[in-house]
Structure 1
Amino acid sequence: MATVTADTAPPDTIGRPGPTMAITSLAAFMVSLDQLVVTTALPTIRDELHTDITGVGWVVNAYTLTFAVLLLTAAAVADRFGRRRLFCLGLALFTAASAAAALSTGIGALIAARALQGLGAAVVLPLTLTILSAAFPPRKRGAALGAWGAVAGLAVACGPVVGGFLTDIASWQWIFWINVPIGVVLLAFAVRGLTESHGASGRLDLVGTAAISLGLLGVVFAIVRGPDEGWASAEVLASGLAGLILIAGFFAWEARTASPMLPLRLFGNRTFSVVNALSLLMFFGMFGSIFLVTQYLQTVQGSSPLGAGVKMLSWTGMVLFAAPLGGALSDKIGGRPILLAALGLQSLGLLWLALFVEADTSYAALVPAFVCNGIGMGLYFGPTGNIVMGAVPRAEEGIASGANNAIRELGGVLGVAVLTSVFAAYGSVDTDQRFADGLVPALWLGTAVVAAGAVTAALLPGKRAADLAAEAAAAERTAPSAAPAAEHSAV
C-alpha cells in the first residue's frame, strides 16, 4: 500500500476515524475489563489451586506490577519503533497470556501468566489513546475521547458482574478465555485498519528506560508488599529506597541526555503538570475507596461476589453516561469546569459514605453516594485524555499518554495500599462493627485526597488559554522538525 509521509498527511489527523475508534475502544474495553474481572473469582481460584490469601493476592499484584511499571517504557518503545506495530504486539501478548492463564494448573503458572498480561496491557492501553487522538481533528477530539472513556467505563461497570457470572455458571478459567477470541479478531483488524505512526525521532534512551522501569518496580513492589510485610520491614524499605534512588537518577539523566524518553520540559507546561497531579490524587482516593467499599458489600452486607458487582452498578454504571457527556462538554466550555465538577462530586460521594457508613447501614442509604461517585468518575474520564493530548505536540502524544497512565496507575496502587493500612490500623474483618470501624477513617482519608484533587483542578487554565496552547501545539505538529514520518501499510 502507499506510504503516507508527514508532508502528504492531513495536518491534524493520521488515520481513519471510524475504524480507529472501533479498534481502540474495543481494545481498551478488553484490557480494562481484565483489571476488575478477576477480583470476584479469587475465592474460587484459591480453593481450586490450593493456595492461600497471599497466593491469590499475587494473582492481582503480578498484573498490577508489570502494568504500572512498564507503561512509560512501552510508550517510549512504541514512539521509536512504531505505534501500530507495538499495539499489535501488545495485543498478541495479552491474548496469548490470557490463554496461558486459563490453562494454568498451579498458582505459580497463573501468577506468571498474569504478569505477562500486565505487560501486554501496558503496551495496549496508552496506545489506544495515542492512536485514537491522532485520528481526529482537535475540534472533535474531546467527543471521541469521551466515547473512549465511556467504553472503558463500561468495562469498569461490567468487570465484577462478568467475573461473578462466568465463575458461577462455568469456571474461573472463562474469565481469561473470554479475551482470546476478542484479541484474535482485534489483532486481525488492527493490522489492516490502523495507520502506522512514530513519536519524536532519535535513538531509544536505554539508560532512562532501565532506570525508570527498575525504579518504578522497586516503589510499586514496596507499596504492594507494605501492608503484608510491614512498612518498616527490611524488604519493603530496601525496595522502596532503591526505587526512589533510581527514579531520582532517571530525572537527573533525563535533564542532561540529548534524547530523553520523557522530556522534562513537558512538566513546564502547566496544563500537563496539573492534570497529572490531579490524576494521581483522584486515583489514590477513589480506587482505594472502591476496593474497601466492595469488600464492605460482601463482608458486612452479605452480598455474593455477583451480588456485590450488581450493587456497584449504581456507581460504575454512571460512568457510561457521564464520560461521553464530559468529553463533549470539554470541547465547548473547556476541561477545567468539567474536572472541577468531577472531583467535587467524587468528594461529595466519599464524604457521604464516611458520614453514614455503619455496621447496619442499608444499601439504599449508600446509593446517593454511589451515584455521585459514578457521575464524577465519568466526568473525569471524558475530558482528561483530551487535555493531556492537547497539551503536547503530536510527536510526543505517545509518551504523554504513557506518563499520564503510569501516574494514574501508581495512584491507584498507592491508594489501595495506604487505605488498606488505615483500615487495618482501626478495624478488621472479624465482625461487622470492626469492619465499619476501619472503613470510616479510610473513607475520610480518601475524601481528603480527592478534595485535594478538586483544588488542584482549579489550577488548570481556562478555555481561552487552553485554546491558545492547542493552537501552538498544532503549529508544532505541522513544523518539519516535529512531524514524524507516518506510514499506512500492512504489517
Structure 2
Amino acid sequence: MSETVHSDPPRRLLGVLFLGTLLAALDIAVVGPALPALREAFGLTERAVAWTFTAFVLANLAGLPVMAALADRVGRRRVYLTDVALFAVGTLVVALAPSFGVLLVGRVIQGFGASGIFPVATAVIGDAYPPERRGRAVGMLGAVFGIAFLIGPAVGGVLLAVASWRWLFALSLPLALVVWVLSARTLPESRAPEPRPFDAAGIVTLTALLAALVVGLSGLDASSFTEALAESVVWGPLVLAAALVPVLVRVERRAEAPLLRPGLVSRRPVQAACALAVGAGIVEATFVLLSSYAVSAFGVEGSTASYLLLLLVAGVTVGAPVAGRLLDRVGARPVVTVATLLVAAGMGAVSLAPSLAIHLVGTVVLGLGLSGILGSSLAYILLAEAGADERAVAQGLSTIFLSIGQLVGAATLASLATSAATTVGGYRMGFGVIAVGAVALSALARWLLTPRAV
C-alpha cells in the first residue's frame, strides 16, 4: 500500500534526498577530470578509457526501469537504501581496482546502484509532499546536478594535484555512509498502490541494442574508415544493433506498459524532444572528454584541465534561467533554434581553436547553447504533449534518449581520438562533426516544432 501524502513533511527529508542525489551526481562530475589520470595509470588509449563513462551510463540506463519497478513493489525506502549501498560497493571496487577490468566492474555496479537514486527520490517527494509543493522540491533535486558540476571539477583539480585518481572516487564513500544512515532514519516506507507492469523484454532489447551500437562505434578507425567498416568487430555489432530496432518496435507495441510508448513517440514535438535529447547527450559526452583534449591539445596539466570545465558549467548556469523565461514568452521553437546554433558555434570554436583562450570562449558558448536544450526545453515540450498519465513516461523518454546520445558521443569521440593520425586531430574531427550535427538538429527542430504549439 502507499502512504498518505504528508501535509507538512519534515524538512530533513528533502535534505537527505538532496544529499543522495548529490552522491550520484558528483560521481558523474569527477569522471572527466579522472580520465587523463586513468589513461596514464593503466596505459590506456582514448578508446579504452572512455568505457569508464560508457559502462556507468549503460548500467544506469538498464537499471532505471528495474529500480522503478522494484520500488513500486517492495517499497521505495528499501530500494533507495539498496541503491545507495550498491553505489558504495561499486565505488569501493573502483577506488581499489588493481586493473582496468576490475574498475569497469565497479563502474557497472555504481551505475546500476545510481539508477534508482533520483527516480526513487522523486517518487518519495510525490508521496510526502502535497501537489502545490512538489514542483519546488523536485526542482531543488534537479539543481543538484548543476551544483555537482560546479563542485566536481574544483574538487578534481585539488585532489589530482595532491593525491591519486583513486581519491576522486573514494571521496564518495563517507558521503554514501552518511546518506545511507540518514535515509534509514528519515525516509518513510511507501509503494505504489497499483504497480505498473514491468517491461522486461523492452529493457533487455534496448540494452542489447545500445551495447551492440557502442561496441560497433568503438571500433571505427578515422584513418581508414572504409576498411574499418569491413571488419567483423565493427559491422557485426552495427548490423545487430540495426536488426534489433524493428524487434524493439514490435516488443514495445505488444508491451502492456512499454518503455517507449508508441503513441507518444509518434507525435512530432515528442520526436523533436527525443532528437534534442540525443544531441544534448552527445554534447554532454564531450564534457567528459574535454579534460583529456585540453591535456593533449594545449599541454595543460591534468589537475588544471579539470578547472577549465568550470567555464563551460558557468555558461550552462547563466543560460538556464534565461532559457526558462524565454520558453514562457516565445515558446520552444525559437529557443531551441538559437540554442542549437549556439552549440554549433561553440563546438566549431572548440574544434578549430588555435589557442587555449579561444577554446575556453568556445566552451562558454557551448554551455550557453546546451542550457537552452537540456532540461527546461525538453521538459517544456514533453509536458505540453503528454497527458496526465503519460508525464512520467515522457520524462523517462528524455532520460533514455539522453543516455543514447551520451553512449554514442563517448564511443565515437574516443574512437576518432585513438585512430586518427594524431589524438588532437581525432578530437577536432569529432567536435567538427558534432558542430555540423547541431546545425542539422536546428533545422530538424524547426520542422518538427510548430511556432507556438509548444
Within 1, Cα distance between the matches of 2:42 and 2:277? 37
**Which residue matches 2:262?**
264
User: Amino acid of the residue matched to residue 84 of structure 2?
Assistant: L
Aligned position for 1:22? 15
Query: Is residue 311–residue 360 contact of structure 2 (8 Å, CA) maintained in 1?
Result: yes
State the Cα distance separating 1:305 from its structure 2 match.
2.1
In the alignment, the residues of structure 1 paired with residue 28 and residue 244 of structure 2 have an alpha-carbon distance, to the nearest angstrom, of 28
1:350-389 equivalences in 2 (<5 Å)? 350-352=344-346, 354=348, 358=352, 360-363=354-357, 365-383=358-376, 384-385=378-379, 388=382
What residue identity is the alignment partner of 2:442? A
Contact kept? 1:203, 1:259, Cα under 8 Å: yes
| Equivalence for 2:86 | 93
User: Paired residues, what number?
Assistant: 448
Tell me which amino acid in the other structure corresponds to 1:455: R
- Alignment match, 1:300: 297
Quick one: which amino acid aligns to residue 428 of structure 1?
Answer: T
Aligned in 2, Cα 1:216/1:151: closer, same or farther, shift over 3 Å? same
- The answer to whether the aligner puts 1:103 opposite 2:96 as a matched pair is yes
Pick closer, same or farther for the CA change 1:65–1:85 going to 2, 3 Å. Answer: same
TM-score by structure 1 length?
A: 0.75
| Structure 2 unaligned blocks of 5 or more | none
- Counterpart of 1:276 in structure 2 is 274
Question: Is 1:442 equivalent to 2:433 in the alignment?
Answer: yes
Quote the Cα distance in structure 1 between the aligned partners of 2:441 and 2:153.
24
Q: Return closer, same or farther for 1:435/1:272 CA change in 2, 3 Å cut-off.
A: closer
The aligned runs of 1:303-322 (5 Å cut-off) are 303-322=300-319
Q: 2:401 aligns with which of 398, 407, 410?
A: 407
Rounded to whole Å, the distance in 2 between the matches of 1:356 and 1:40 is 18
Check if 1:348 corresponds to 2:326.
no
- 241-250 vs 288-297, which moves further: 288-297
Are the counterparts in 2 of residues 319 and 377 from structure 1 also a CA contact under 8 Å? yes
Structure 1 residue 118, shift from structure 2 partner: 1.6
Partner of 1:173: 166
Please tell me whether residue 184 in structure 1 is matched to residue 177 in structure 2.
yes
Cα separation, 2, equivalents of 1:54 and 1:110: 15
User: 2:94·2:107 contact (CA, 8 Å) conserved in 1?
Assistant: yes
Amino acid at match of 2:436: L
> 2:446 aligned to 455, 460, 477, which one?
455
Q: Is the aligned partner of 1:233 residue 2:226?
A: no
User: Could you tell me which residue of structure 1 aligns to residue 243 of structure 2?
Assistant: 245
Secondary structure, aligned partner of 2:115:
helix
Which residue, out of 211, 216, 228, partners 1:217? 211
**1:252 positional shift:** 0.8
Secondary structure of 1:207's partner? helix
2:410 pairs with 403, 411, 416, which one?
416
Deviation of 1:18 after TM superposition, in Å, equals 4.7
Which structure has more relative contact order (CA 8 Å, sep 6+)? It is: 1
Name the CA distance, whole Å, in 2 between partners of 1:181 and 1:462: 48
Question: For 1:159 and 1:449, how far apart are their aligned partners in 2?
Answer: 32
Contact 2:18 2:141 in 1 (8 A): yes
Partner-residue secondary structure (3-state), 1:38: helix
The equivalent of 1:472 in structure 2 is none
- After superposition, the Cα gap between the structure-2 partners of 1:461 and 1:78, relative to the gap in structure 1 and judged at 3 Å, is farther
Residue 328 of structure 2: aligned partner: 333
Alpha-carbon contact 2:337-2:442 (below 8 Å) kept: yes
Whichever residue aligns with residue 101 of structure 1, its letter is: V
Identify which of 195, 200, 203 aligns with 1:201. Answer: 195
CA contact (8 A) 1:289 1:443 kept: no
- Residue pairs, 1:122-137, within 5 angstroms: 122-132=115-125
What RMSD in Å do the two structures reach over aligned CA positions?
A: 3.9
Q: Deviations over 1:393-424 (max 9, x none)?
A: 66655544433212101112212334556667
Change (3 A) 1:131 1:400: farther
Distance, in Å, in 2 between the alignment partners of 1:71 and 1:453 is 29
Task: Give the direction of change, closer, same or farther, for the CA distance of 1:25–1:461 in structure 2 (3 Å limit).
Answer: farther
Match of 2:107 among 109, 114, 120: 114
CA 232–33 in structure 1, closer or farther in 2 if over 3 Å, else same: farther
- Does structure 2 retain, via aligned residues, the 8 Å contact 1:218–1:239? yes
1:51, distance to aligned residue in structure 2 (A) = 5.8
Give the match's secondary structure for 2:298. Answer: coil
The structure 2 residue matched to 1:40, chosen from 28, 33, 39, is: 33
Contact in 2 for aligned 1:46/1:53 (Cα 8 Å)? yes
Aligned in 2, Cα 1:115/1:437: closer, same or farther, shift over 3 Å? closer
State the shift of 1:270 in Å: 5.4
Task: Give the residue type in structure 2 aligned to 1:406.
Answer: I
Task: Note if contact 1:427-1:438 (Cα within 8 Å) is conserved in structure 2.
Answer: no
Q: CA deviation at 1:166?
A: 1.4
**CA 1:398 to 1:456, structure 2 compared with 1: closer, same or farther past 3 Å?**
same
Q: Distance in 2 between matches of 1:419 and 1:55?
A: 11
Shift in Å, 1:349: 4.8
The structural deviation recorded for 1:109 is 1.7
Corresponding residue number in structure 2 for 1:148: 141
Does the Cα contact within 8 Å between 1:28 and 1:125 map onto a contact in 2?
yes
State the SS of the aligned residue for 1:196. coil
Q: Is the 8 A contact 2:202 2:248 kept in 1?
A: yes
1:66 positional shift: 1.9
Distance 1:118 1:251 in 2: 26
TM-score (norm 2): 0.80
Between the aligned partners of 2:76 and 2:290, the Cα distance in structure 1 is 38
